[in-house]
Structure 1
Amino acid sequence: MCAAVTGLRRPPEGLTDSKLLTPKRRDALAAVLGDWVTCHALGHASPEEIDDLGMTAALRLAAVRALEALPVVPDAVILDGKHNYLGGPWHVRTVIKGDQSCVSVAAASVLAKVRRDTMMAELGATTAAYEPFAFGDNAGYPSPVHRAALEEWGPTPHHRVSWSYLDALPRWRHLKKIRVPVDTAAPGSTEDGDGVQLGLDF
């Protein structure tokens, strides 16, 4: 999760939703975004926290960590998507496809995606035990290579074990964690504040 605070300067050319950019273009943009944004910060939730809390609460946890790591306190948060999983005490405005219409959200999208890809590559290089999963070369659970590795080796400590992918893995189904869903996200406001605005994306 990335929180990016931007000013009124012209954004780098081609800045948009990270999913619409090639890896090479994302890396090039990330290299200049660090200087272009006023500031930015990253927040993470671990696989264990996602399993324990559920995705909505884990998203909020990662977002709060990113916001609290900023050197400034934003007056308003522009949240990508239609669901306000962040809530108070921030003034939140949700924008569907905000990473295509808001430069702060687009900047957060690119910075978060590049950091995530870097972490996956680092994880893939950590130990030969993870080599079958090709962490650095695929997007995760849906890829054929990753699914084949899961069937053979089972989930690693870096996999969520409360997710349904384990249902399709008879050898490892017993590892699935059953969690009673609890939505702990606060309702929050949808009003804009004046002053600093912040784009939040993951």
Structure 2
Amino acid sequence: MPYEPPTHTVERSLRATTGAKIIAGVDEVGRGAWAGPVTVCAAVTGLRRPPAGLTDSKLLTVKRRTELAEELRTWVTSYALGHASHEEIDGMGMTAALRLAAVRALEGLPVRPDAVILDGKHDYLGTPWRVRTVIKGDQSCVAVAAASVLAKVQRDKMMAELGIDHADFGFADNAGYPSPVHKAALQELGPTPYHRLSWAYLDALPQWRHLKKARTWADASVPEVAGQLGFDF
């Protein structure tokens, strides 16, 4: 399906209105997964023409996404990845875990950015960062699209590696997100050491429900994505 390529419109606006020179695009992956970390990438791209075909990682095939990530690693001015583990997600809630992963990514850049373009409508970073939120920024903003691809490819690789010793769960294919294979393995085998144990999917698994951790979400206004996805056996 044809799509409009991302542009530098938001970056140019930030430069003109705030004087920002170094602008990082930030995107996350793994928010709705039942297992594994949430991963955030911060990418600084400048105003150069992006690689052909750059867009939101979810719109790309695995092959094209992997190829594009390889190209982006040398094309971007700089980038860094940050992760919050499943234990940190259970302990502090998704909003705080997202912020932790994002701060780790931003602080991993060689130079602190003057401004941040954050994909979505919610600012989970807050002060002291200068943030511009952009709905579907991973499709419309070059830096955010680059961050989207780099984050997705890295987390998929991590989940495939975690799944080597847990082949029944299909992490190499589902990256810890709900899927028929994942659900069937959970029902039969219970959670792996990499599952988020505060999430609602355990409510539908009586034999494993005793493993569920107390809910400690930092921001009750943020939907518990796993519960919304359902677990219908």
With the shorter chain as reference, the TM-score category is: 0.7 to 0.9
For the residues of structure 1 that align with 2:123 and 2:201, how far apart are their CA atoms? 27
Query: Structure 1 residue aligned with 2:170, among 130, 134, 143?
Result: 134
Query: Structure 2 residue aligned with 1:117, among 156, 175, 186?
Result: 156
Please tell me whether residue 17 in structure 1 is matched to residue 56 in structure 2. Answer: yes
Match of 1:198 in 2: none
User: Runs in 1 of length 4+ with deviation above 6 angstroms?
Assistant: none
Match of 2:76 in 1: 37
8 Å Cα contact 2:92-2:216 kept in structure 1: no
1:142: how far off?
A: 1.7
Match of 2:211 in 1: 175
For the residues of structure 1 that align with 2:141 and 2:204, how far apart are their CA atoms? 39
For the residues of structure 1 that align with 2:177 and 2:201, how far apart are their CA atoms? 8
1:24: how far off?
A: 0.6
For the residues of structure 2 that align with 1:146 and 1:65, how far apart are their CA atoms? 29
CA RMSD, Structure 1 to Structure 2 (Å) = 1.2
Match of 1:72 in 2: 111
Match of 2:136 in 1: 97
For the residues of structure 1 that align with 2:178 and 2:80, how far apart are their CA atoms? 29
TM-score calculated relative to the size of structure 2: 0.75
1:45: how far off?
A: 0.4
Please tell me whether residue 161 in structure 1 is matched to residue 197 in structure 2. Answer: yes
**Could you give the per-residue CA deviations for residues 94-130 of structure 1, whole angstroms, max 9, x where no partner exists?**
00000010000000000000001111111122x2xx1
For the residues of structure 1 that align with 2:173 and 2:193, how far apart are their CA atoms? 19
Match of 2:123 in 1: 84
8 Å Cα contact 2:94-2:217 kept in structure 1: no
Structure 1 residue runs of 5 or longer lacking an equivalent are 185-202
Structure 2 residue runs of 5 or longer lacking an equivalent are 1-39, 221-233
Q: Secondary structure at the match of 1:93?
A: strand
Question: Which amino acid is the alignment partner of residue 171 of structure 2?
Answer: F
What is the number of equivalent residue pairs in this alignment? 181
Match of 2:88 in 1: 49
**Could you give the per-residue CA deviations for residues 42-96 of structure 1, whole angstroms, max 9, x where no partner exists?**
0000111000100000000000000111101100000000000000111000000
1:180: how far off?
A: 3.6
8 Å Cα contact 2:90-2:213 kept in structure 1: yes
TM-score calculated relative to the size of structure 1: 0.87
Q: Secondary structure at the match of 2:138?
A: helix
For the residues of structure 2 that align with 1:18 and 1:141, how far apart are their CA atoms? 16
For the residues of structure 2 that align with 1:157 and 1:84, how far apart are their CA atoms? 30
Equivalent pairs: percent with the same residue?
A: 77
1:150: how far off?
A: 0.4
Question: Which amino acid is the alignment partner of residue 19 of structure 1?
Answer: K
Q: Secondary structure at the match of 2:172?
A: coil
